[in-house]
Protein backbone atom coordinates (compact mmCIF):
# COMPACT_ATOMS: atom_id res chain seq x y z
CA UNK A 1 0.00 0.00 0.00
CA UNK A 2 2.94 2.34 0.52
CA UNK A 3 3.35 2.72 -3.26
CA UNK A 4 -0.21 3.96 -3.88
CA UNK A 5 -0.78 6.41 -1.04
CA UNK A 6 -0.78 9.36 -3.42
CA UNK A 7 -3.29 7.74 -5.76
CA UNK A 8 -5.61 6.82 -2.87
CA UNK A 9 -5.53 10.40 -1.62
CA UNK A 10 -6.23 11.77 -5.10
CA UNK A 11 -9.11 9.33 -5.57
CA UNK A 12 -10.63 10.47 -2.29
CA UNK A 13 -10.44 14.10 -3.40
CA UNK A 14 -11.95 13.36 -6.82
CA UNK A 15 -14.71 11.29 -5.24
CA UNK A 16 -15.58 14.23 -3.00
CA UNK A 17 -15.63 16.62 -5.98
CA UNK A 18 -17.86 14.20 -7.91
CA UNK A 19 -20.25 13.89 -4.95
CA UNK A 20 -20.54 17.68 -4.55
CA UNK A 21 -20.89 18.18 -8.30
CA UNK A 22 -23.70 15.66 -8.71
CA UNK A 23 -25.46 16.88 -5.56
CA UNK A 24 -25.35 20.52 -6.69
CA UNK A 25 -26.51 19.61 -10.20
CA UNK A 26 -29.53 17.79 -8.78
CA UNK A 27 -30.23 20.51 -6.25
CA UNK A 28 -30.11 23.24 -8.90
CA UNK A 29 -31.76 21.09 -11.58
CA UNK A 30 -28.71 21.45 -13.82
CA UNK A 31 -27.86 19.02 -16.59
CA UNK A 32 -24.82 16.81 -16.13
CA UNK A 33 -24.08 17.09 -19.85
CA UNK A 34 -23.76 20.83 -20.32
CA UNK A 35 -19.98 20.87 -20.75
CA UNK A 36 -16.99 18.59 -21.23
CA UNK A 37 -16.31 18.75 -17.50
CA UNK A 38 -18.44 15.65 -16.93
CA UNK A 39 -16.18 13.63 -19.23
CA UNK A 40 -13.11 15.22 -17.67
CA UNK A 41 -14.22 14.22 -14.18
CA UNK A 42 -15.00 10.62 -15.16
CA UNK A 43 -11.80 10.15 -17.16
CA UNK A 44 -9.73 11.84 -14.47
CA UNK A 45 -11.09 9.48 -11.83
CA UNK A 46 -10.47 6.48 -14.08
CA UNK A 47 -6.92 7.64 -14.79
CA UNK A 48 -6.07 8.02 -11.11
CA UNK A 49 -7.66 4.65 -10.33
CA UNK A 50 -5.66 2.79 -12.98
CA UNK A 51 -2.57 4.74 -11.96
CA UNK A 52 -2.96 3.29 -8.49
CA UNK A 53 -3.64 -0.20 -9.84
CA UNK A 54 -0.53 -0.18 -12.05
CA UNK A 55 1.61 1.28 -9.26
CA UNK A 56 0.48 -1.65 -7.11
CA UNK A 57 0.86 -4.38 -9.74
CA UNK A 58 4.27 -3.23 -10.97
CA UNK A 59 5.60 -3.45 -7.43
CA UNK A 60 3.84 -6.75 -6.66
CA UNK A 61 3.94 -8.43 -10.05
CA UNK A 62 4.07 -11.88 -8.46
CA UNK A 63 0.49 -11.45 -7.23
CA UNK A 64 -1.07 -10.79 -10.63
CA UNK A 65 -0.85 -12.39 -14.05
CA UNK A 66 1.28 -10.59 -16.65
CA UNK A 67 -1.69 -10.22 -18.99
CA UNK A 68 -3.71 -8.33 -16.37
CA UNK A 69 -0.72 -6.13 -15.62
CA UNK A 70 -0.40 -5.32 -19.32
CA UNK A 71 -4.13 -4.52 -19.64
CA UNK A 72 -4.09 -2.27 -16.57
CA UNK A 73 -1.10 -0.35 -17.94
CA UNK A 74 -2.82 0.08 -21.30
CA UNK A 75 -5.97 1.36 -19.57
CA UNK A 76 -3.95 3.72 -17.40
CA UNK A 77 -1.95 5.22 -20.27
CA UNK A 78 -4.98 5.55 -22.55
CA UNK A 79 -7.14 7.13 -19.83
CA UNK A 80 -4.33 9.59 -19.03
CA UNK A 81 -4.12 10.49 -22.71
CA UNK A 82 -7.90 10.85 -22.80
CA UNK A 83 -7.87 13.26 -19.85
CA UNK A 84 -5.32 15.54 -21.50
CA UNK A 85 -7.09 15.33 -24.84
CA UNK A 86 -10.51 16.17 -23.36
CA UNK A 87 -8.91 19.05 -21.48
CA UNK A 88 -7.58 20.29 -24.82
CA UNK A 89 -11.10 20.08 -26.26
CA UNK A 90 -12.37 21.91 -23.18
CA UNK A 91 -9.91 24.75 -23.86
CA UNK A 92 -11.12 24.91 -27.46
CA UNK A 93 -14.73 25.16 -26.29
CA UNK A 94 -14.30 27.80 -23.58
CA UNK A 95 -12.29 30.01 -25.94
CA UNK A 96 -14.64 29.51 -28.88
CA UNK A 97 -11.82 28.01 -30.95
CA UNK A 98 -13.42 24.63 -31.63
CA UNK A 99 -13.53 24.26 -35.44
CA UNK A 100 -16.90 23.97 -37.15
CA UNK A 101 -15.68 22.02 -40.19
CA UNK A 102 -15.95 18.24 -39.81
CA UNK A 103 -12.67 17.72 -41.66
CA UNK A 104 -10.75 19.93 -39.24
CA UNK A 105 -12.41 18.24 -36.27
CA UNK A 106 -11.19 14.91 -37.63
CA UNK A 107 -7.63 16.19 -37.74
CA UNK A 108 -7.87 17.11 -34.07
CA UNK A 109 -9.04 13.63 -33.08
CA UNK A 110 -6.68 11.70 -35.38
CA UNK A 111 -3.47 11.96 -33.26
CA UNK A 112 -5.36 10.90 -30.15
CA UNK A 113 -6.89 7.85 -31.87
CA UNK A 114 -3.52 6.81 -33.30
CA UNK A 115 -1.92 7.18 -29.88
CA UNK A 116 -4.53 4.94 -28.22
CA UNK A 117 -3.92 2.30 -30.89
CA UNK A 118 -0.17 2.43 -30.31
CA UNK A 119 -0.60 2.24 -26.53
CA UNK A 120 -2.61 -0.98 -26.74
CA UNK A 121 -0.50 -2.51 -29.50
CA UNK A 122 2.78 -2.03 -27.62
CA UNK A 123 1.59 -2.54 -24.05
CA UNK A 124 2.85 -6.14 -24.16
CA UNK A 125 6.42 -4.92 -24.70
CA UNK A 126 6.55 -2.68 -21.63
CA UNK A 127 9.61 -3.06 -19.43
CA UNK A 128 9.21 -2.99 -15.68
CA UNK A 129 12.17 -1.19 -14.16
CA UNK A 130 13.23 -1.47 -10.54
CA UNK A 131 13.79 1.98 -9.10
CA UNK A 132 15.33 3.11 -5.85
CA UNK A 133 11.98 3.70 -4.19
CA UNK A 134 9.45 2.07 -6.50
CA UNK A 135 9.20 0.08 -9.70
CA UNK A 136 7.87 1.69 -12.86
CA UNK A 137 7.20 0.82 -16.50
CA UNK A 138 8.81 2.14 -19.67
CA UNK A 139 8.43 1.40 -23.37
CA UNK A 140 6.90 2.59 -26.62
CA UNK A 141 3.43 2.97 -25.07
CA UNK A 142 4.80 5.19 -22.31
CA UNK A 143 6.90 7.29 -24.68
CA UNK A 144 3.93 7.76 -27.00
CA UNK A 145 1.78 8.80 -24.05
CA UNK A 146 4.42 11.32 -22.96
CA UNK A 147 4.70 12.79 -26.45
CA UNK A 148 0.95 13.20 -26.86
CA UNK A 149 0.62 14.71 -23.39
CA UNK A 150 3.37 17.21 -24.20
CA UNK A 151 1.88 18.12 -27.59
CA UNK A 152 -1.67 18.70 -26.35
CA UNK A 153 -0.48 20.53 -23.24
CA UNK A 154 1.62 22.88 -25.38
CA UNK A 155 -1.31 23.40 -27.75
CA UNK A 156 -3.57 24.21 -24.79
CA UNK A 157 -1.09 26.83 -23.61
CA UNK A 158 -0.92 28.33 -27.11
CA UNK A 159 -4.70 28.53 -27.31
CA UNK A 160 -4.80 30.22 -23.91
CA UNK A 161 -2.23 32.82 -24.98
CA UNK A 162 -3.78 33.52 -28.38
CA UNK A 163 -7.39 33.62 -27.19
CA UNK A 164 -7.08 34.90 -23.63
CA UNK A 165 -9.69 37.60 -24.35
CA UNK A 166 -12.27 34.85 -24.87
CA UNK A 167 -11.90 33.91 -21.19
CA UNK A 168 -13.36 36.03 -18.39
CA UNK A 169 -10.70 38.15 -16.68
CA UNK A 170 -11.38 36.71 -13.23
CA UNK A 171 -10.87 33.18 -14.58
CA UNK A 172 -7.62 33.71 -16.49
CA UNK A 173 -5.34 33.45 -13.47
CA UNK A 174 -6.89 30.14 -12.41
CA UNK A 175 -6.74 28.71 -15.96
CA UNK A 176 -3.10 29.75 -16.20
CA UNK A 177 -2.39 28.17 -12.82
CA UNK A 178 -3.76 24.73 -13.61
CA UNK A 179 -2.19 24.86 -17.07
CA UNK A 180 1.16 25.58 -15.44
CA UNK A 181 0.69 22.82 -12.87
CA UNK A 182 -0.25 20.33 -15.58
CA UNK A 183 2.81 21.25 -17.64
CA UNK A 184 5.16 21.31 -14.64
CA UNK A 185 4.08 18.01 -13.09
CA UNK A 186 4.00 16.32 -16.50
CA UNK A 187 7.54 17.51 -17.21
CA UNK A 188 8.80 16.28 -13.83
CA UNK A 189 7.10 12.93 -14.42
CA UNK A 190 8.84 12.57 -17.78
CA UNK A 191 12.26 13.41 -16.37
CA UNK A 192 11.84 11.36 -13.20
CA UNK A 193 9.45 8.50 -14.12
CA UNK A 194 9.97 6.82 -10.77
CA UNK A 195 8.05 9.60 -8.96
CA UNK A 196 4.64 8.53 -10.33
CA UNK A 197 3.11 12.03 -10.05
CA UNK A 198 0.63 11.83 -12.92
CA UNK A 199 -2.33 11.35 -10.58
CA UNK A 200 -1.43 14.60 -8.81
CA UNK A 201 -1.45 16.55 -12.09
CA UNK A 202 -4.82 15.09 -13.11
CA UNK A 203 -6.41 15.80 -9.73
CA UNK A 204 -5.13 19.36 -9.53
CA UNK A 205 -6.44 20.53 -12.86
CA UNK A 206 -9.80 18.71 -12.48
CA UNK A 207 -10.26 20.60 -9.21
CA UNK A 208 -9.07 23.81 -10.86
CA UNK A 209 -11.58 23.50 -13.70
CA UNK A 210 -14.37 22.69 -11.25
CA UNK A 211 -13.73 25.57 -8.89
CA UNK A 212 -13.09 28.06 -11.67
CA UNK A 213 -15.91 27.34 -14.10
CA UNK A 214 -18.06 24.30 -13.44
CA UNK A 215 -19.43 24.62 -9.92
CA UNK A 216 -23.21 24.20 -10.51
CA UNK A 217 -24.00 26.52 -7.61
CA UNK A 218 -22.01 29.36 -9.20
CA UNK A 219 -23.53 28.71 -12.62
CA UNK A 220 -27.02 28.74 -11.10
CA UNK A 221 -26.29 31.98 -9.25
CA UNK A 222 -25.16 33.60 -12.50
CA UNK A 223 -28.29 32.33 -14.24
CA UNK A 224 -30.53 33.69 -11.46
CA UNK A 225 -28.83 37.08 -11.78
CA UNK A 226 -29.55 37.15 -15.51
CA UNK A 227 -33.14 36.07 -14.95
CA UNK A 228 -33.61 38.79 -12.32
CA UNK A 229 -32.33 41.45 -14.71
CA UNK A 230 -34.58 40.12 -17.50
CA UNK A 231 -37.63 40.04 -15.20
CA UNK A 232 -37.00 43.61 -14.08
CA UNK A 233 -36.73 44.73 -17.71
CA UNK A 234 -39.92 42.83 -18.58
CA UNK A 235 -41.84 44.69 -15.90
CA UNK A 236 -40.86 47.96 -17.51
CA UNK A 237 -41.49 46.74 -21.04
CA UNK A 238 -44.99 45.50 -20.18
CA UNK A 239 -46.08 49.11 -19.70
CA UNK A 240 -45.93 49.39 -23.49
CA UNK A 241 -48.36 46.87 -24.97
CA UNK A 242 -46.79 47.12 -28.40
CA UNK A 243 -43.26 45.98 -27.68
CA UNK A 244 -43.80 42.31 -26.72
CA UNK A 245 -40.50 40.46 -26.56
CA UNK A 246 -38.40 43.47 -27.53
CA UNK A 247 -35.75 43.04 -24.86
CA UNK A 248 -35.30 39.33 -25.54
CA UNK A 249 -34.97 39.81 -29.27
CA UNK A 250 -32.62 42.76 -29.03
CA UNK A 251 -30.46 40.86 -26.55
CA UNK A 252 -30.12 38.02 -29.06
CA UNK A 253 -29.29 40.43 -31.89
CA UNK A 254 -26.71 42.13 -29.68
CA UNK A 255 -25.12 38.77 -28.93
CA UNK A 256 -24.93 37.86 -32.62
CA UNK A 257 -23.32 41.19 -33.49
CA UNK A 258 -20.80 41.19 -30.65
CA UNK A 259 -19.67 37.62 -31.23
CA UNK A 260 -19.29 38.17 -34.97
CA UNK A 261 -17.28 41.35 -34.38
CA UNK A 262 -15.01 39.36 -32.08
CA UNK A 263 -14.64 36.54 -34.60
CA UNK A 264 -13.65 39.07 -37.27
CA UNK A 265 -11.10 40.71 -35.00
CA UNK A 266 -12.85 44.10 -34.91
CA UNK A 267 -12.34 46.18 -31.75
CA UNK A 268 -10.11 43.38 -30.40
CA UNK A 269 -8.78 45.65 -27.64
CA UNK A 270 -12.32 46.11 -26.33
CA UNK A 271 -14.41 43.05 -27.19
CA UNK A 272 -13.43 40.37 -24.71
CA UNK A 273 -15.41 37.61 -23.02
CA UNK A 274 -16.12 40.04 -20.16
CA UNK A 275 -17.30 42.71 -22.60
CA UNK A 276 -19.78 40.35 -24.26
CA UNK A 277 -20.95 38.95 -20.94
CA UNK A 278 -21.56 42.42 -19.51
CA UNK A 279 -23.21 43.57 -22.73
CA UNK A 280 -25.68 40.69 -22.68
CA UNK A 281 -26.61 41.57 -19.10
CA UNK A 282 -26.81 45.29 -19.90
CA UNK A 283 -28.85 45.03 -23.11
CA UNK A 284 -32.18 44.25 -21.36
CA UNK A 285 -31.77 47.45 -19.35
CA UNK A 286 -31.45 49.80 -22.34
CA UNK A 287 -35.04 51.11 -22.02
CA UNK A 288 -35.19 51.17 -18.23
CA UNK A 289 -35.70 54.94 -18.39
CA UNK A 290 -39.15 54.42 -19.92
CA UNK A 291 -40.38 53.79 -16.40
CA UNK A 292 -40.44 57.58 -16.07
CA UNK A 293 -42.41 58.17 -19.30
CA UNK A 294 -46.16 58.77 -18.82
CA UNK A 295 -48.47 56.04 -20.17
CA UNK A 296 -50.27 58.56 -22.35
CA UNK A 297 -47.05 59.09 -24.30
CA UNK A 298 -45.66 55.58 -24.11
CA UNK A 299 -48.88 53.97 -25.38
CA UNK A 300 -50.03 56.68 -27.78
CA UNK A 301 -51.20 55.03 -31.03
CA UNK A 302 -50.41 58.06 -33.23
CA UNK A 303 -47.43 60.28 -33.91
CA UNK A 304 -45.98 62.10 -30.92
CA UNK A 305 -46.05 65.88 -30.75
CA UNK A 306 -42.76 67.75 -30.40
CA UNK A 307 -43.40 68.17 -26.69
CA UNK A 308 -44.26 64.50 -26.26
CA UNK A 309 -41.18 63.41 -28.20
CA UNK A 310 -39.02 65.65 -26.02
CA UNK A 311 -40.50 63.91 -23.00
CA UNK A 312 -39.87 60.51 -24.57
CA UNK A 313 -36.23 61.35 -25.25
CA UNK A 314 -35.67 61.88 -21.55
CA UNK A 315 -35.86 58.11 -21.04
CA UNK A 316 -32.17 57.88 -22.01
CA UNK A 317 -31.08 60.40 -19.38
CA UNK A 318 -33.38 58.96 -16.73
CA UNK A 319 -32.29 55.44 -17.62
CA UNK A 320 -28.65 56.28 -17.07
CA UNK A 321 -29.46 57.94 -13.77
CA UNK A 322 -31.52 54.95 -12.58
CA UNK A 323 -28.66 52.57 -13.45
CA UNK A 324 -26.13 54.61 -11.50
CA UNK A 325 -28.39 54.89 -8.47
CA UNK A 326 -29.77 51.36 -8.46
CA UNK A 327 -26.51 49.52 -9.17
CA UNK A 328 -24.36 51.70 -6.93
CA UNK A 329 -23.59 48.91 -4.45
CA UNK A 330 -23.66 46.02 -6.92
CA UNK A 331 -19.90 45.46 -6.66
CA UNK A 332 -19.45 45.10 -10.43
CA UNK A 333 -18.29 48.46 -11.72
CA UNK A 334 -17.66 47.26 -15.28
CA UNK A 335 -21.21 45.95 -15.66
CA UNK A 336 -22.66 49.07 -14.02
CA UNK A 337 -20.74 51.31 -16.41
CA UNK A 338 -21.82 49.34 -19.47
CA UNK A 339 -25.46 49.26 -18.40
CA UNK A 340 -25.24 53.03 -17.96
CA UNK A 341 -23.72 53.51 -21.41
CA UNK A 342 -26.31 51.31 -23.11
CA UNK A 343 -29.23 53.02 -21.37
CA UNK A 344 -28.00 56.58 -21.96
CA UNK A 345 -26.42 56.43 -25.40
CA UNK A 346 -28.30 53.82 -27.47
CA UNK A 347 -30.14 56.61 -29.36
CA UNK A 348 -26.97 58.49 -30.31
CA UNK A 349 -26.14 58.46 -34.04
CA UNK A 350 -22.86 58.01 -35.87
CA UNK A 351 -23.27 61.43 -37.54
CA UNK A 352 -23.91 63.21 -34.24
CA UNK A 353 -27.62 63.86 -34.80
CA UNK A 354 -28.90 61.56 -32.07
CA UNK A 355 -29.78 62.23 -28.45
CA UNK A 356 -29.37 63.01 -25.56
CA UNK A 357 -25.89 64.54 -26.06
CA UNK A 358 -25.42 64.54 -29.82
CA UNK A 359 -22.30 62.39 -29.60
CA UNK A 360 -20.76 61.16 -32.84
CA UNK A 361 -18.52 58.38 -34.13
CA UNK A 362 -16.21 56.91 -31.48
CA UNK A 363 -17.49 59.35 -28.86
CA UNK A 364 -20.38 56.92 -28.56
CA UNK A 365 -19.44 53.87 -26.45
CA UNK A 366 -19.08 50.68 -28.48
CA UNK A 367 -21.73 48.92 -26.39
CA UNK A 368 -24.28 51.62 -27.26
CA UNK A 369 -23.33 51.52 -30.97
CA UNK A 370 -24.03 47.79 -31.04
CA UNK A 371 -27.26 48.27 -29.11
CA UNK A 372 -28.41 50.98 -31.55
CA UNK A 373 -28.38 48.62 -34.55
CA UNK A 374 -30.19 45.85 -32.66
CA UNK A 375 -32.75 48.28 -31.22
CA UNK A 376 -33.63 49.96 -34.52
CA UNK A 377 -33.88 46.68 -36.42
CA UNK A 378 -36.25 45.22 -33.85
CA UNK A 379 -38.27 48.43 -33.67
CA UNK A 380 -39.01 48.40 -37.42
CA UNK A 381 -39.43 44.63 -37.77
CA UNK A 382 -42.14 44.28 -35.11
CA UNK A 383 -45.62 45.68 -34.64
CA UNK A 384 -45.95 48.93 -32.75
CA UNK A 385 -49.00 50.71 -31.39
CA UNK A 386 -48.54 53.38 -34.05
CA UNK A 387 -47.73 51.13 -37.08
CA UNK A 388 -47.41 47.56 -38.33
CA UNK A 389 -44.14 45.67 -38.72
CA UNK A 390 -42.18 46.37 -41.90
CA UNK A 391 -41.09 43.58 -44.30
CA UNK A 392 -37.69 42.18 -43.40
CA UNK A 393 -36.14 43.36 -46.67
CA UNK A 394 -37.15 46.91 -45.79
CA UNK A 395 -35.79 46.49 -42.26
CA UNK A 396 -32.37 45.43 -43.52
CA UNK A 397 -32.46 48.30 -46.04
CA UNK A 398 -32.94 50.73 -43.16
CA UNK A 399 -29.77 49.41 -41.50
CA UNK A 400 -27.94 49.55 -44.85
CA UNK A 401 -29.03 53.11 -45.56
CA UNK A 402 -28.16 54.16 -42.01
CA UNK A 403 -24.61 52.80 -42.22
CA UNK A 404 -22.20 55.70 -41.75
CA UNK A 405 -25.09 58.01 -40.87
CA UNK A 406 -27.08 56.56 -37.99
CA UNK A 407 -24.88 53.54 -37.31
CA UNK A 408 -21.22 52.63 -37.01
CA UNK A 409 -20.47 51.34 -40.54
CA UNK A 410 -18.43 48.38 -39.27
CA UNK A 411 -21.25 47.25 -36.99
CA UNK A 412 -23.90 47.81 -39.65
CA UNK A 413 -21.89 45.86 -42.23
CA UNK A 414 -21.36 43.00 -39.79
CA UNK A 415 -25.06 42.90 -38.97
CA UNK A 416 -25.99 42.76 -42.65
CA UNK A 417 -23.46 39.99 -43.26
CA UNK A 418 -25.11 37.75 -40.66
CA UNK A 419 -28.59 38.31 -42.04
CA UNK A 420 -29.30 34.57 -42.12
CA UNK A 421 -28.68 34.27 -38.36
CA UNK A 422 -30.70 37.39 -37.62
CA UNK A 423 -33.62 36.07 -39.64
CA UNK A 424 -33.39 32.75 -37.81
CA UNK A 425 -33.74 34.53 -34.45
CA UNK A 426 -36.60 36.63 -35.81
CA UNK A 427 -38.40 33.51 -37.04
CA UNK A 428 -37.81 31.72 -33.73
CA UNK A 429 -39.48 34.48 -31.74
CA UNK A 430 -42.28 34.80 -34.29
CA UNK A 431 -43.04 31.09 -33.88
CA UNK A 432 -42.99 31.41 -30.08
CA UNK A 433 -45.35 34.37 -30.29
CA UNK A 434 -47.85 32.38 -32.38
CA UNK A 435 -47.75 29.54 -29.86
CA UNK A 436 -48.37 31.96 -26.99
CA UNK A 437 -51.32 33.53 -28.80
CA UNK A 438 -52.75 30.10 -29.55
CA UNK A 439 -52.41 29.07 -25.91
CA UNK A 440 -54.18 32.23 -24.78
CA UNK A 441 -57.07 31.54 -27.16
CA UNK A 442 -57.42 28.03 -25.77
210: Cβ contacts below 8 Å, ≥ 6 apart: 17, 21, 37, 41
Averaged pLDDT of the chain: 84
Question: What pLDDT score was predicted for residue 439?
Answer: 46
Per-residue pLDDT, averaged over 58-74, amounts to 79
Task: Report percent pLDDT > 90 for the chain.
Answer: 36
Q: pLDDT tens digits for 184-237?
A: 887 888 888 777 788 888 898 888 888 777 766 666 666 666 666 666 666 666
What are 104-140's pLDDT values in tens digits?
Answer: 888 888 889 999 999 999 988 888 887 777 777 889 9
* Span 173-177, average pLDDT: 83
| DSSP H or E segment with residue 129 | strand 127-130
Q: What is the pLDDT of residue 243?
A: 47
Alpha carbon distance 40, 75 (integer Å): 16
Condensed to tens digits (0 to 9), the pLDDT of residues 247-266 reads 889 999 999 999 999 999 99
What percentage of the chain has pLDDT greater than the value 70? 86
Q: Which of 378, 362, 342 is nearest to 411 (CA)?
A: 362
Q: For position 420, which CATH number holds? A: 1.10.3210.10
Q: Let me know whether 297 and 434 are in one domain.
A: yes
Domain count of the chain? 2
Q: Please give the residue range of the domain that contains residue 57.
A: 2-214
Same domain assignment for residues 288 and 385: yes
Binning pLDDT at 50, 70 and 90, where does residue 48 land? very high
What's the CATH code of the domain at 131?
Answer: 1.20.1070
Contacts of 102 (CB under 8 A, 6+ apart): none
User: Do 210 and 294 belong together in one domain?
Assistant: no
Out of 184, 214, 244, pick the residue that ends a domain.
214
CA-to-CA separations, 115 to 42, 369, 371, in angstroms, rounded: 20, 49, 48
Neighbours of 438 (CB within 10 A): 9
Q: What is the mean pLDDT of residues 50-65?
A: 79
Instruction: Clarify whether residues 10 and 138 are in a common domain.
Output: yes
Higher pLDDT: 276 or 242? It is: 276
Q: Are residues 347 and 435 in the same domain?
A: yes
Question: Tens digit of pLDDT for each residue in 338-363?
Answer: 999 999 999 999 999 999 999 999 99
Check whether residue 163 and residue 237 sit in a common domain.
no
Amino acid sequence: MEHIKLQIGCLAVLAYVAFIYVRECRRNHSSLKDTLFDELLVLGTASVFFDGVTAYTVNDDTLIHTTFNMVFHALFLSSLDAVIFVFFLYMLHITGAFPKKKSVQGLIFLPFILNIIIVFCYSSSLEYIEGEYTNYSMGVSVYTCYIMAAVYTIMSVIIFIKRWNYIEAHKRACVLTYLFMLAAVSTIQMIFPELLLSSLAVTMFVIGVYMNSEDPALRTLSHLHSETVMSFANLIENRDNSTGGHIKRTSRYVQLIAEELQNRGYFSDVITKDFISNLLKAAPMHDIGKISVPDAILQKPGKLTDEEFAEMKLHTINGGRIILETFRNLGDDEYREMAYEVARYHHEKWNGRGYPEGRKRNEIPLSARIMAVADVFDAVSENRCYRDAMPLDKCFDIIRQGSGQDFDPIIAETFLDIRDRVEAVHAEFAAESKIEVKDEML
